[in-house]
Amino acid sequence: MKNSHRLYYLRQWFLTIITLGMVLNFLSSTILSACTLELDGQTSMANTVKTASYVFQGTIKELNLSQLVIQVSQYFKGNGPSTVTVTQLDENCGEQIATGQEAIFFIKTDVKQSAPSIITNQELILIQPVSPEIITKITANIDCMAIYHPEQGKVHVPCLAMDHGIGGIYSADLSLESSESLRFAVDSVQLQQPFTIQQPVYIEQLDIQILGSLPVTVRAVITGQLANPCQKIDQIQVVREDNTFNITITTINSSLPDIDCPDILVPFKEIVSLDVTQLKAGIYTVNVNGISDTFELAVDNILFKALINDVNIQVLESIPVKVNAKVKGKFSNGCQQIDQINTTQTDNVFKVTMTTTPPPPPEIACTMALVPFEKTIPLNVQGLKAGVYTVEVNGMSNNQFELAVDNVVDGN
């Protein structure tokens, strides 16, 4: 009886091992290689294009057991770097492609705004050969639809692929020639999506300028070279982390892949303003594409606004009409004075900013009492249209005046 139980359990274990082996073999044989060259019967090009985050054409520059390096020639969906590296390369992938091969690559990633320069094998969902037919299928599935204007007899086709080449995606405008046969003539064909690949820019010099009095303004003057006349500045991003400003400048090549640009360096100069308002005194670092420099704020760069108690708008009966803002406020001590008065006008709103001198150092004795002040500020209202205008002084905005008629002088 014991032997029969023992044989039963041995048989069950044997069947379990066989079943597990079959399952593992099935799973290993059905794992979808990221380097699929052909669509399966259940996947359409439309679904693949819509699923993919980025679709681009490129040439395989490097292929080894661990990675695949693609030199991108153009993006059909999205944009990104000029070189994309695929890591964790699948063995099956390496057997289906070769160095120097040109293809269209479909990748799916969570990275937004721009394709990442490094992706994993799992993010590369499809590779297709380069052909007018494939580009036509891609074009048909990037959310483009022709628009017909019957009253004008015009048709605009926003996405168009050329059957004689692979230069990119174009748009076309057509005109109705015959309403009976709906025959159209082509008015124009032009590039709809230019060749846009983000590239780093080469920086030669970084100069930092500190301008004005408190609060000071700081700007980075950046000079460098573009690789060729087809290269253009694309984005300038400034991110501050503690006492470090990181500036990233990227460029794009706006020419078509089949157009050769001369190897002529093109100098450029960019002036980038740094937001240093309200920063504490200290030494700050500026990084631009690997080049660094520093600047120092000797004192806290704080904007000291005057304390405003009352604003009275005076409209003078003159031709043309003149308007003044009579401002009353208080200084916090006997040493404080008005430093700057800046007035700007946007639409029907005047904004007046009154700043004061910073607090004196401890060694200077000042009367520690509120000191009243009064200031009359003229507003430039010449040439303004009739209407109601608002005056805001250091945030106090419940002040208005009205021009009954256009404030112009005959002949002006």
Q: What does the pLDDT average to over 368-383?
A: 90
Cα separation, 68 vs 60, in Å, equals 7
Are 24 and 79 in contact, with CB atoms under 8 Å apart? no
* C-alpha Rg value of the chain to the nearest Å: 34
Residues 6+ apart with CB under 8 A from 310: 327, 328, 329
Q: What does the pLDDT average to over 27-56?
A: 64
Closest by CA position to 38, among listed 90, 115, 106, 119:
106
Domain ranges of the chain: 46-130, 143-193, 198-297, 307-403
Locate 282 and state its tokens.
Answer: 């200290």
Pick the CATH number of 46-130 from 3.40.50.1820, 3.40.50.300, 2.40.50.120, 3.40.50.10860: 2.40.50.120
CA geometry: angle 121, 140, 180, nearest 5 deg: 175
With cut-offs at 50, 70 and 90, classify the pLDDT of residue 43.
low
With cut-offs at 50, 70 and 90, classify the pLDDT of residue 47.
confident
User: Is residue 79 over pLDDT 90?
Assistant: no
DSSP state of 121: G
Helix or strand (DSSP H, E) at 355: strand 349-356
Locate 38 and state its tokens.
Answer: 């052909």
Of 17-31, 146-160, 363-377, the least confident: 17-31
Cα separation, 319 vs 142, in Å, equals 61
Cα separation, 23 vs 14, in Å, equals 14
Q: What does the pLDDT average to over 284-311?
A: 88
DSSP state of 306: P
Mean of pLDDT over the chain: 79
CA geometry: angle 292, 294, 298, nearest 5 deg: 170
With cut-offs at 50, 70 and 90, classify the pLDDT of residue 145.
low
- Residue 236's pLDDT is 85
State how beta strands 349-356 and 387-393 pair: parallel
Closest by CA position to 394, among listed 282, 306, 283:
306
User: Is residue 208 over pLDDT 90?
Assistant: yes
Closest by CA position to 353, among listed 388, 327, 331:
327
With cut-offs at 50, 70 and 90, classify the pLDDT of residue 20.
very low
Of 254-263, 342-351, 367-376, the least confident: 254-263
Residue 69: beta bridge partners? 62, 85
Cα separation, 390 vs 397, in Å, equals 7
> Which of 273 and 339 is assigned the larger pLDDT?
273
With cut-offs at 50, 70 and 90, classify the pLDDT of residue 193.
low
Q: Could you read off the pLDDT of 105-142 as tens digits, one per residue?
A: 999 888 766 678 888 888 888 888 888 778 878 877 77
- Residue 363's pLDDT is 81
Are 250 and 211 in contact, with CB atoms under 8 Å apart? no
Residue 104: beta bridge partners? 57, 128
With cut-offs at 50, 70 and 90, classify the pLDDT of residue 391.
very high
Q: Count CB neighbours of 66 within 10 A.
A: 10
Q: Count CB neighbours of 103 within 10 A.
A: 19
> Which of 358 and 24 is assigned the larger pLDDT?
358
% of residues, the chain, pLDDT over 70: 79
- Using the Cα atoms of residue 136, residue 139, residue 143 and residue 146 in order, give the sign of their dihedral: negative
Of 184-193, 232-241, 309-318, 369-378, the least confident: 184-193
Alpha helix stretches (DSSP H) within 71-191: 91-96, 132-139
Q: Could you read off the pLDDT of 230-241 as tens digits, one per residue?
A: 888 877 888 898
CA geometry: angle 202, 204, 209, nearest 5 deg: 120
Residue 191: beta bridge partners? 170
Are 132 and 146 in contact, with CB atoms under 8 Å apart? no
User: Is residue 411 over pLDDT 70?
Assistant: no
Closest by CA position to 303, among listed 279, 281, 284, 330:
279
Q: pTM of the prediction?
A: 0.42
Are 123 and 109 in contact, with CB atoms under 8 Å apart? yes
User: Is residue 66 over pLDDT 90?
Assistant: no
Unique residue bearing structure tokens 């050969």: 129
DSSP 40-86: -TT--HHHHHHH-SEEEEEEEEEE-SSEEEEEEEEEEES-EESEEEE
- How distant, in Å, are the alpha carbons of 107, 142, 226, 228 from that of 31? 17, 28, 45, 45
